[in-house]
Amino acid sequence: MITAGIDVGIAYTKAVVLKDGKVAGKACGLSGGAKRPANVQAIYDKALAEAGVKAADVEKVFATGKGKFDVSFADDRLTEVVTATQAAKLTTPKVTTVIDAGADEIVVGVVEGEKINEFVLNQKCAAGLGLFLESMAERFDMTVEELGALDGPLSVTVNEGCVVFAELDALSLANRGTDLKEIGKALNEACAWRASMTINDIYKQNKDCVVIMGGLVKNGAFLKALERIAGVKFVVPEEPVYAGAIGAASLAAAS
Amino acid sequence: MAKGQKWETRPLDFWNKAKELRAGWQKSIESKEKVVGQGNTFDLSFDWQAAFPAVTVIEDNPVGSMMQNKNEPYARKARLASEVRGWGREICGYQGNCWGAQFLGYIDDGTAWPDRKFVIPMPCVCDQHAKRGQQARDFENMPQWMADRLIYFGEYDEEREKPMLEHKVYCNYRIINDMERIFGQQFDEEECAKLMAGSKEVREYSREISYLMARTIPSPLSVKDLYSVYTIGGLTKIDPDATVQFWRMVRDEVKWRAENQIAAVGNEQFRFIEAHPPSWHYMKYYRYLEQYGAICLGSEYSHGAGSNYEVRPDGSIGLRVDKTYPDDMEMTTREDIIRVGSGALARPAGGFKTNEYIYRDRIVQFAQFMQADGALLAIWRHGVGCTLTRKEQAMYLRDAGLNVIHYEGSQPGDRTDLDEKRLLDQLDTWMESQGLRKVTE
Amino acid sequence: MDFKALVENRHEYAKAWKAKTGGKVLGWYEPYFPEEIAYAAGILPVRILARHYPDDVSDKWIYACCYPVRDMVNQFLKGRYDYVDGLVNVEGCQWMYNSWEVAVNNNPKLWNHYLFLPDHTDAPTSKTVLRSELNVMKGLMEEWTGKKITDEDLDRSIEIHNKNRLLLKQISEMRRMDRPLIHGAEMMQIVLASQLMDKAEMNEILEKFIPELEARKPGEDRIRLMLIGSETWDTELEEMVEAMGGDIVVDELDNGTSYYWNNIIPQKDRLMAIGLRYLGRPKNPIKDNNWRRRPQHIFELAEDYNVDGALIVKQIYCHLHGTDNYAVWKILRERYIPYHFFERDTTLPIEDTRLRLESFMNMLKPGLTHLAGWHKAYGE
Render pLDDT for A105-150 as a digit per residue (tens, 0 to 9): 899 999 998 889 999 998 877 777 899 999 999 999 999 999 999 9
Of the residues B137, B152, B187, the one at which a domain ends: B187
Q: What is the mean pLDDT of residues C198-227?
A: 96
Contacts of B423 in chain A (CB under 8 A): none
Sign for the CA dihedral angle at A197, A201, A202, A204 comes to positive
Question: Are B125 and B53 contained in the same domain?
Answer: yes
Partner-chain contact A176 C350, CB within 8 Å: yes
Partner-chain contact C351 A161, CB within 8 Å: no
Which chains border C (3 or more CB–CB pairs < 8 Å)? A, B
Any CB–CB contact under 8 A between C208 and chain A? no
Question: Are B292 and B416 contained in the same domain?
Answer: yes
At A61, give phi and psi (nearest 5°): -120, 125
Q: Is residue B324 part of a domain?
A: no
Question: Are B298 and B199 contained in the same domain?
Answer: no
Torsion of CA A8, A12, A13, A18, to 10 degrees: -110
Q: Distance from first CA to last CA of chain B, Å, rounded? A: 20
Contacts of A109 in chain B (CB under 8 A): 433
**Cα–Cα distance measured from residue B92 to residue B383, given in angstroms and rounded to the nearest whole number:** 4
For C224, half-sphere exposure in the C-beta direction (CA atoms, 13 angstrom radius) is 27
Any CB–CB contact under 8 A between B139 and chain C? no
Residue A94, min C-alpha distance to chain B (Å):
18
- Residue B107's domain spans which residues? 34-187
Hey, which residues 186-245 in chain A have their CB within 8 Å of chain B?
203-204
- How do beta strands B309-311 and C86-90 pair? unpaired
Question: Are B289 and B387 contained in the same domain?
Answer: yes
Residue A50, min C-alpha distance to chain B (Å):
31
- ipTM entry: 0.93
**How far are the Cα atoms of A137, A184, B262, C342 from residue A156, in angstroms, in the given order?**
17, 10, 64, 24
Any CB–CB contact under 8 A between B356 and chain C? yes
Question: Are B233 and B360 contained in the same domain?
Answer: no
Any CB–CB contact under 8 A between A121 and chain B? yes
Q: Is residue B141 part of a domain?
A: yes
The closest alpha carbon to B46, from B194, B207, B221, belongs to B194
Q: Omega before C295 cis (within 30°)?
A: no
Question: Are B426 and B360 contained in the same domain?
Answer: yes
Q: Is residue B329 part of a domain?
A: no
Partner-chain contact C323 B91, CB within 8 Å: yes
For B102, half-sphere exposure in the C-beta direction (CA atoms, 13 angstrom radius) is 20
Partner-chain contact A78 B432, CB within 8 Å: yes
Partner-chain contact A160 C345, CB within 8 Å: no
Q: Is residue B316 part of a domain?
A: no
Average confidence (pLDDT) per 10 residues, chain B, 441 residues: 81 90 75 64 66 82 89 95 90 91 90 84 77 83 88 88 95 92 92 86 90 96 91 75 92 97 96 92 94 95 79 76 80 89 82 54 88 96 87 93 94 92 93 86 48
User: How many C-beta neighbours within 10 Å does residue C56 have?
Assistant: 23
Q: Check pLDDT > 60 for residue C166.
A: yes
Partner-chain contact C125 B379, CB within 8 Å: no
Mean pLDDT of chain C: 94
Residue B363, min C-alpha distance to chain A (Å):
17
Hey, which residues 145-204 in chain B have their CB within 8 Å of chain C?
146-148, 150-153, 157, 159-160, 162-164, 166-167, 170-171, 174
Partner-chain contact A171 C351, CB within 8 Å: yes
How much of chain A exceeds pLDDT 90, in percent? Answer: 82
Partner-chain contact A81 B429, CB within 8 Å: yes
Task: Give the closest of C59, C351, C352 to A197, CB-based.
Answer: C59
Partner-chain contact C318 B123, CB within 8 Å: no
- Residue B133 pLDDT: 81
Contacts of C63 in chain A (CB under 8 A): 123
The lowest-confidence range among B204-208, C33-37, C279-283 is B204-208
Partner-chain contact B433 A204, CB within 8 Å: no
- DSSP, collapsed to helix, strand or coil, labels residue C374 as helix
The lowest-confidence range among B27-31, C270-274, C342-346 is B27-31
Question: Are B8 and B70 contained in the same domain?
Answer: no
- Residue B373 pLDDT: 97
Residue C89, min C-alpha distance to chain A (Å):
26
Of the residues B187, B207, B222, the one at which a domain ends: B187
Question: Are B116 and B155 contained in the same domain?
Answer: yes
Please give the single-letter amino acid code of residue C104: V
Task: Give the closest of B91, B144, B392 to C319, CB-based.
Answer: B91
pLDDT per position as a tens digit, C94-136:
999 999 989 998 998 999 999 999 999 999 999 999 999 999 9
Contacts of A124 in chain B (CB under 8 A): 408, 417, 419
Q: Is residue B312 part of a domain?
A: no
- DSSP, collapsed to helix, strand or coil, labels residue A44 as helix
Partner-chain contact A200 C60, CB within 8 Å: yes
Residue A194, min C-alpha distance to chain C (Å):
6
pLDDT per position as a tens digit, C84-103:
999 999 999 999 999 998 99
- Residue C35 pLDDT: 98
**Class of domain C13-147 (CATH, top level):** alpha beta
Nearest CA in chain B to C329: B86
Contacts of A118 in chain B (CB under 8 A): 398, 403
Task: Give the closest of C94, C128, C341 to B163, CB-based.
Answer: C128
- Domain count across chain B: 3
* Interface-testing mutation among B403, B428, B437, B440, with chain A (most A C-beta atoms within 10 A): B428
* Interface-testing mutation among A120, A129, A200, with chain C (most C C-beta atoms within 10 A): A200
Nearest CA in chain B to A118: B403
Q: Taking the domains of chain C in order of start, what are their residue ranges?
A: 13-147, 155-375
How much of chain C exceeds pLDDT 70, in percent? Answer: 98
Question: Are B413 and B426 contained in the same domain?
Answer: yes
Residue A118, min C-alpha distance to chain C (Å):
13
Task: Give the closest of B82, B147, B381 to C120, CB-based.
Answer: B147
Residue B166, min C-alpha distance to chain C (Å):
7
Q: Is residue B76 part of a domain?
A: yes
Question: Are B289 and B425 contained in the same domain?
Answer: yes
Question: Are B399 and B274 contained in the same domain?
Answer: yes
Q: Report residues of chain A scoring pLDDT below 70.
A: none
The angle formed by the CA atoms of residues B331, B235 and B419, to the nearest 5 degrees, is 150
Burial class (CB in 10 A: 0-12, 13-18, 19+), B378: buried
Same fold, C13-147 and C155-375: yes
**Cα–Cα distance measured from residue B47 to residue B192, given in angstroms and rounded to the nearest whole number:** 8
Partner-chain contact A176 C351, CB within 8 Å: yes
At C313, give phi and psi (nearest 5°): -120, 115
- How do beta strands A234-235 and B317-319 pair? unpaired
Sorted by where each starts, the structural domains of chain A and their CATH numbers stand as 2-81+242-254 (3.30.420.40), 94-236 (3.30.420.40)
Q: Is residue B7 part of a domain?
A: yes
Partner-chain contact B395 A123, CB within 8 Å: no
Partner-chain contact B134 C289, CB within 8 Å: yes
**Cα–Cα distance measured from residue B96 to residue B280, given in angstroms and rounded to the nearest whole number:** 15
Partner-chain contact B433 A119, CB within 8 Å: yes
Question: Are B137 and B229 contained in the same domain?
Answer: no
Any CB–CB contact under 8 A between A113 and chain B? no
Partner-chain contact B391 C59, CB within 8 Å: yes
At C329, give phi and psi (nearest 5°): -60, -40
Q: What is the mean pLDDT of residues C294-308?
A: 96
Nearest CA in chain A to B410: A124
* Residue contacts between B and C (CB atoms, under 8 Å): 159
Residue C71, min C-alpha distance to chain A (Å):
11
Of the residues B264, B286, B316, the one at which a domain ends: B264
Nearest CA in chain C to B84: C326
What CATH fold (topology level) applies to the domain C155-375? Rossmann fold (3.40.50)
Which chains border B (3 or more CB–CB pairs < 8 Å)? A, C
* Interface-testing mutation among B146, B150, B347, B404, with chain C (most C C-beta atoms within 10 A): B146
Partner-chain contact B408 A123, CB within 8 Å: yes
